[in-house]
Amino acid sequence: MSQVQHGGYGRELASSVPIIDFSANINPLGTPDKLIQSIKKSLSNLIYYPDVNYRSLRKNLGQLYHFDPEQIWIGNGSVDLIFNIIEVLQSKNALLLAPTFGEYEHAFTKSGAKVEHFYLSEQNNFQLDINVLIDTLKVNHDIDTICLCNPNNPTATMVNTYQLRQLANYCNDNGIWLIIDEAFNDFISDKEKYSFVQELQDDDSVIIIKSLTKYYAIPGLRLGMALLPNKYFVNTLIDYSEPWSVNTFAAELTPDVFNDQDYALKTSQWLSSEKAYLEKELSKIPQIKFFPSAVNYYLLKYREKDLYQELLNKGILIRNCDNYVGLTKGYYRIAVKSHLENRQLIEKLNELMGS
């Protein structure tokens, strides 16, 4: 099985020439000071094993998301949880959006499941229509698991909690598991409108996955969490998970890291300002189509040249999206970065277009 390709290889490429990495959707404000201080406090504990049940971290995350800590499980990043959860479910037939994050299909295929795709339409800006999805399920009775990325990667589109509840109700009534990956939800200003966490009920066949990697800029640390409908599923997931898969630095993150309102405010202000700037400048480049975005990245379409290679030649790394199911050559994803970096991207794009 071939490895799924991702963004975030700027550091490797930059060994020979300077590279600005727009391929990974990481918060450009960097790792919060409070998180760094928390790591420093944990240095003296490296001689000990982490708490195998991560009780302190689960308690802190439960307070952050107003959720029962006993129904939370921790993973070495959200991808670790995706693979473990899919292994627990033992799905036979899974339905995935196309395009979407490639590791879902990797995990289902590895577990032996057959994967079918629900193709999103470019004419509708790749926006998911929940009613059409439910209609598809009504005629395809073999589907036992659906995995949604909300916001979706790489399309940057979302569905709200009302629509998710419609889908969850159908899944509950028909014995279908619904996995909702909210890896980028924390970047959204009105995230409660789109997060299903507070909607989750004990009898739901719904699993929510969240990532702290992107928002807190810790891809090298790795930390993800799963919010589960009941404690029984948590215990089953624990049995499938490797012990001590989460390191001491992540397991001992202090409550003030998650209550850092200054970092949250600065992130919100940065994203609002820089999205407005990028949309204004991209709209001046008619050769490039950018699709509406609800989060900290954009899907672009440009067919005239290999934009990935052209920008790489100018020291800019973007995500080539031609390996996503549902996309072909000519689609790219860019992260929203600092104003200086965003301005450099626009300058290089204008150079390429002869503007």
**Could you tell me the residue ranges of all domains in the chain?**
10-31+260-353, 48-254
Q: What is the mean pLDDT of each run of 10 residues along the chain (355 residues)?
A: 54 67 97 97 97 95 93 96 96 98 97 98 98 97 97 97 96 97 93 90 91 95 94 90 95 94 97 98 98 98 96 97 96 98 98 86
Class of the CATH domain delimited by 10-31+260-353: alpha beta
Question: What's the confidence (pLDDT) of residue 204?
Answer: 86
Tell me, yes or no, if the two domains 10-31+260-353 and 48-254 fold the same way.
no
Question: What's the confidence (pLDDT) of residue 35?
Answer: 97
Question: What's the confidence (pLDDT) of residue 3?
Answer: 53
SS3 313: coil
Question: What's the confidence (pLDDT) of residue 230?
Answer: 87
SS3 108: helix
Question: What's the confidence (pLDDT) of residue 271?
Answer: 98
Measure the CA–CA gap between 109 and 32, rounded to whole angstroms: 37
Question: Is the domain 48-254 a CATH 3.90.1010.10 member?
Answer: no
Q: How far is CA 151 from the centre of its chain?
A: 7
Question: What's the confidence (pLDDT) of residue 355?
Answer: 62
Measure the CA–CA gap between 169 and 276, rounded to whole angstroms: 36
